[in-house]
Structure 1
C-alpha cells in the first residue's frame, strides 16, 4: 500500500501491548453506543410521532430535527474533539465524552416534549463527538503498525454491527417498554465502558502539540455547523434553491475556505494541508464521503419501506438488517487479506461496484417482492461496506504519524458525517419531492387543511388516512405506490453516487504493493528451505 512517509514511532510499551485486544474491546463498546444511538432511533420514529402517552406527538419536521440535531452537533465538533484529544490526552477526552453522552441519554429518555428531545439529543452529540475520534486514535497508539490493519478492520466491523443491531435493539425495547427506553439503555453501557476504560486504557497524546490553533478551531466549528445546517434545512424544505438554504451553505463554504487558507499560512496549524496533496489520502477521504452519502441516504428510507409499505413491526424491521450486520462481522476483519492479495485499488473498486449494484437493486423492490431478496441485498451491501471502510481507514490512519492519530481519526469521521448528513438531506429531499409529486393527485378529496400535511411523507398520508376511517382507506394503495416510486428514484441517485466513488478509487488508490528486496530475499529463503 502506497502511503506518505511516516516517521518511525517508538514501540508500544510491553504492558500495553499485552492487553491491546482487551483495550480494543473497550473501545468497541464505547464506539457501539455512539453509532448504535443513531440507528436505534430510526425504528422509534413512528412511536415518537404518536400522541402522548404512547409517544410525544412529534411532527414530521420535529422528527427530522431529533435526528439532525445529533448530526449537526456531532459533525461540527468532531474535528475539534480530535485535536483536543491529541493535546489534552485521549483517555481524558474519552471519559469526558462518555460522561456527557450518558447524562444526555438519561435526560433524552425523560423528555416531555419534542423540543426537549431535540435539545438532549444535541447534548448526546457533544459527548459522542469526543468519543468517536478518540477510539480510533487510541487504537493507533496501542497496536504496532503491522497489526493496525487487522485492528482497524475489527473497528470498522464494529461500526457496521452497531448500524445493524441498533434497529433490532430498538424493536425489542419498543415491544416491551416505552419509547424512552431506546435512550435509557445507553446509561448502563456507558457506566460499564467508563469503568473498563479507567482500568485498561492507557493515556496518550501528541508529545509536541504546539500552541492551540484557536482561530482554526473556531473557523472549523462555525464552517461545519453552517454547512451541515444548510444541508439539513434544504432537505427539510425539499428545496435547495431557497435563499436561506443557499446563503447558509455558501456561508459555511466561505468559512471553510477561510479555514483552509488560514491553516496553510499558520506556523502552528490544526491540520497540515500538505497531507491533502497526497492523492491516495485525498481519494480515501472522498470515497468515505461518497459511501456514506449513498448509504445513509438510501438505508434511511428502508425502515419506512419495511414498516409502512410491508407492514413489519419495529422488531421485525430490525431483524431484517441482520444480514448487513453478519456481512460486516465476517468480512471487515478479513478485508486486509483481500487487500494483501489484490491491492487496495482492485478491492475497493470491486466493493464500490457491489454497493452501486445493491442500490440499483433497491429500485426493483415493490410491495410484493419476496423478503429473502431484500436480505440478499442487505448482505451484499454489508460485504461491500466492509471492503471499502477497512482499506480506506487504514490508508487514512497510516498516512499520518502516530502522534497525530486523533486528527486523522477526526478528519475521517468528519468527512463520514458530512457525507451522511448530505446523503440524508439531498436524497431525503429527492424522496420527499418525488413522493409529493406521486401522491398530490390523490389528495383532492381531502379538506384543504389536511392536503399539505398528508403530502409530507407516507407516514403523514397513512396517519391522515387512519383518522378519516373508511374515507381514508382509498389513500393507502396510492400512498404505497407513490412511496415505492420515490424510493426507486432515490435509490438510483444513490447508485450514481456510488458509481462515482468507484471511479475515484479506480483512478487514485494504490494497486498491489511492489515487493521490496527484503521480501524477495525472504521468499527465496523460504523456497530454499522447502526444497
Structure 2
C-alpha cells in the first residue's frame, strides 16, 4: 500500500517552506554528481589512448567495450535497489557511501596495470554511481517545497547535461597534457570535496524504518535489469539481435521483470508499487524519458566517430564541438520550470520533443563537407529542446509518487534513462554497422584477403588497415568515410522517428496544464490488486 502523504520531520518543513539551506544543498548535490555523469562521457575520448600498447594498456576492442559496459551493466542493474535502500536507510548515508566507493574505484581505474583490472574497477565504479544518482534527486525532492521543486530539478538536469557535454573536452584536455589514467583520477578531488560538503550541509531523510523490506522484489529487479541490459549491450557488440548471446539474456530479463511486476502487485509491502503506472502523467513521463534517451544517445554515439574519424578532428577538438549542446542545457535547463508554469508541461514537452525529432532527423543531411558551424547550430537547438523536456519529465515522475518514495522514483527515472540510452547505442549502432558493412564491401576487393574481414568491421578498423596500404589506402579511406556517412544518415532518420513517437505519446497522454499529478497513493486503491 502506498504510504500516506503525511511527511515526517524534516520533510514536513520542506513541504511548506523548504529547507533553509536548500539552494546550497542543491549546489553541493549537482557538484557531487559531476564526477558520475562526467565519467560516462569522458572515457570515450580516452579509448584510443588506452588501446595503445605503449601509451596505454594495449587493450583489445572487446576489452575496451567491456571497460565501458561493465560500468553500465552494474549501474543500471543496481539503480533501483539503491534507490530503495536510500529511502529505507537514509539518502544522505547512501550518497556518502556511493561517493566513497566511486572515488576509491576511480583511483583503482587510474592506476590499473592491465585491462582486466580496469574492467573490474569500472564495475565497482558502477556500484558507487548507482548509489549516488537516485539519492541526489530524492534529496532535492525532500528539501524543496512543491513550488520550487520544478526549478530545482531543472537546475539538476542542467548540471547533468553540462557534465555529459563537457566530458569529451575535459578528457581531451587531460590527454593533451597527462597520461590516460588522468581521466579517472580527476574524479577523486571532486569526490573528496563532495563528501566534506555533504557531511556538513545535507540533512538526512528516509522512509519510516518500521516498514517491511521486499527482498524478493529487490532480487527480481536486479536479475531482470542486469539480464536485460546485458542482452542490449551484447546486441550492440555483435551488431546483431538474432544471436543466442543477445536474445536469450534479453528474453530472460523481460520474463524476470514481468515476474517482478506480478510479485509487486501481490505484495502488501512492494519495493515499488507498479500501480503508479496507472497514473497517466507518471507513465507518460517514464516512457518519454526512455524514448528520448534512446534517440539522443544513439546520435551522440555516432557523432563522436563522425568528428574524429570521418572529419579527422583530434579528441580535444571533438570534445570542444559538443559545447553548444552543453551551453544550451546550462542556460535553458533552469528556465524550463518557468516555461512549464506559463504554458503547461504538455505543450512545452510536445513542442520540444517535436524539435528534437527534427534536429535528430536533420543529421541525415550532414555530409563530410558540411560547414562545422551548421552542425554546431543544430547541436545548440537540440540542446535547447532537450533542456525543456527532461526537467518537466523528471519533475512529473517525482511529483507522481509520494515524497517518501523519492529515492525509488529517482531510480526509476534514471533506470529508464540508462536502459533507453543503452538500447539506443546498441540498436542505432547496429543499424549503422550493418549499412556500413554493406556499403564498404565493394571497396574491399583491393584489400589483401586476410585483412578483408577486419577491414570491413567499422570505420575505425578500415582506417587502420588503410594506413598500411600506402597510396591504395587513400581510396579505401574515402570509401570508408562515404559508407559511414550513409550509415549515419539511416541511423539519424530512425532516431528522429523514435523521438517523433515520443512526441505523439506526450501529445496524447500527458495531462494538460490544469491536471495535477497525485503526490501520494491516495488516488490509488488501498490494497494492491490481486492477480
Which bracket does the TM-score occupy, shorter chain normalised? over 0.9
Question: In structure 2, what is the Cα distance between the partners aligned to 1:469 and 1:48?
Answer: 26
Q: CA deviation at 1:490?
A: 0.6
- 1:479-518 alignment, distance < 5 Å: 479-513=480-514
User: 1:7 maps to what in 2?
Assistant: 5
User: 1:95 maps to what in 2?
Assistant: 96
- Give yes or no for contact 2:17–2:145 (8 Å, CA) kept in 1: no
Q: Specify the SS of the correspondent of 1:468.
A: coil
Distance 1:201 1:57, change over 3 A: same
User: 2:46 maps to what in 1?
Assistant: 44
Question: In structure 2, what is the Cα distance between the partners aligned to 1:221 and 1:429?
Answer: 26
Question: In structure 2, what is the Cα distance between the partners aligned to 1:423 and 1:48?
Answer: 25
Q: CA deviation at 1:449?
A: 2.9
- Give yes or no for contact 2:109–2:184 (8 Å, CA) kept in 1: yes
Whether 1:57 and 2:55 are equivalent positions in the alignment is no
**Superposed CA RMSD:** 1.8
Q: Specify the SS of the correspondent of 2:347.
A: helix
- Give yes or no for contact 1:86–1:209 (8 Å, CA) kept in 2: no
- 1:372-391 alignment, distance < 5 Å: 372-391=373-392
User: 2:455 maps to what in 1?
Assistant: 454
Question: In structure 1, what is the Cα distance between the partners aligned to 2:515 and 2:35?
Answer: 40
Unaligned residue ranges in structure 2 (runs of 5+): 517-531
Moved more, 266-275 or 238-247: 238-247
Question: In structure 1, what is the Cα distance between the partners aligned to 2:456 and 2:485?
Answer: 15
User: 2:523 maps to what in 1?
Assistant: none
- Provide Cα deviations, 1:491-516, integer angstroms capped at 9, x if missing partner: 1110010000000000011222279x
Whether 1:223 and 2:224 are equivalent positions in the alignment is yes
- Give yes or no for contact 2:15–2:144 (8 Å, CA) kept in 1: no
- Give yes or no for contact 1:231–1:249 (8 Å, CA) kept in 2: yes
Q: Specify the SS of the correspondent of 1:467.
A: coil
Distance 1:488 1:15, change over 3 A: closer
User: 2:264 maps to what in 1?
Assistant: 263
Q: CA deviation at 1:16?
A: 7.5
- Give yes or no for contact 2:53–2:59 (8 Å, CA) kept in 1: no
Question: In structure 1, what is the Cα distance between the partners aligned to 2:15 and 2:514?
Answer: 29
Question: In structure 1, what is the Cα distance between the partners aligned to 2:47 and 2:353?
Answer: 30
Question: In structure 1, what is the Cα distance between the partners aligned to 2:54 and 2:25?
Answer: 42
Question: In structure 1, what is the Cα distance between the partners aligned to 2:294 and 2:330?
Answer: 22
Distance 1:152 1:376, change over 3 A: same
Question: In structure 1, what is the Cα distance between the partners aligned to 2:505 and 2:227?
Answer: 27
Using the size of structure 1 for normalisation, the TM-score is 0.93
Q: CA deviation at 1:415?
A: 0.7
- Give yes or no for contact 1:6–1:399 (8 Å, CA) kept in 2: no
Q: CA deviation at 1:482?
A: 0.7
User: 1:25 maps to what in 2?
Assistant: 27
- Give yes or no for contact 2:98–2:128 (8 Å, CA) kept in 1: yes
- 1:359-508 alignment, distance < 5 Å: 359-508=360-509
Distance 1:373 1:305, change over 3 A: same
Question: In structure 2, what is the Cα distance between the partners aligned to 1:303 and 1:95?
Answer: 33
Q: Specify the SS of the correspondent of 2:366.
A: coil
User: 1:323 maps to what in 2?
Assistant: 324
Distance 1:435 1:6, change over 3 A: farther
Q: Specify the SS of the correspondent of 2:304.
A: helix
Question: In structure 2, what is the Cα distance between the partners aligned to 1:265 and 1:320?
Answer: 51
Whether 1:157 and 2:158 are equivalent positions in the alignment is yes
Question: In structure 1, what is the Cα distance between the partners aligned to 2:424 and 2:210?
Answer: 35
Q: CA deviation at 1:15?
A: 11
Question: In structure 2, what is the Cα distance between the partners aligned to 1:209 and 1:400?
Answer: 20
Question: In structure 2, what is the Cα distance between the partners aligned to 1:386 and 1:30?
Answer: 20
Question: In structure 2, what is the Cα distance between the partners aligned to 1:289 and 1:375?
Answer: 25
Q: CA deviation at 1:209?
A: 5.7
- Give yes or no for contact 1:136–1:406 (8 Å, CA) kept in 2: yes
- 1:206-285 alignment, distance < 5 Å: 206-207=207-208, 210-285=211-286
Unaligned residue ranges in structure 1 (runs of 5+): 516-531
Distance 1:492 1:5, change over 3 A: farther
Q: CA deviation at 1:7?
A: 2.2
Moved more, 316-325 or 57-66: 57-66
Moved more, 152-161 or 436-445: 436-445
Moved more, 458-467 or 387-396: 458-467
Q: CA deviation at 1:308?
A: 0.8
- Give yes or no for contact 1:347–1:387 (8 Å, CA) kept in 2: yes
